[in-house]
Amino acid sequence: MAKPFLMIHIRPGKCDYCGCCVGVCPEDAIELQESKIAVIEERCTNCRKCVWACPWEVIEFHREGIKDLPKEISALDNLQFAHSLK
């Protein structure tokens, strides 16, 4: 099912890169490196399991979708990073 836009946002500066979210993601939609993390937009179904799993509450769910990409530069880098690998 097509979805309008990404609703899951990982606040990059706050993440501990622990991988708990990746472990519960049923869609293999999170790319995690040593200190980089990103949601792979095409796979994410906005199920929110990652939001619930995050021990530090750094994953946000935006009901209206993320229309403007996050301002943080690292978030943009991370999104590009996730795409560059596949």
Q: Which residues bind another protein (CB under 8 A)?
A: 16, 18-26, 28, 31-34, 49, 52-57, 85-86
Residues, the chain:
86
Measured between alpha carbons, how far is 48 from 3 in angstroms, rounded to an integer? 14
* The token pair that represents 21 in the structure block: 């979210």
The CB-of-76 to another protein minimum distance in angstroms stands at: 18
The CB-of-43 to another protein minimum distance in angstroms stands at: 11
Question: Looking at beta carbons only, is 19 or 65 nearer to another protein?
Answer: 19
The CB-of-31 to another protein minimum distance in angstroms stands at: 8
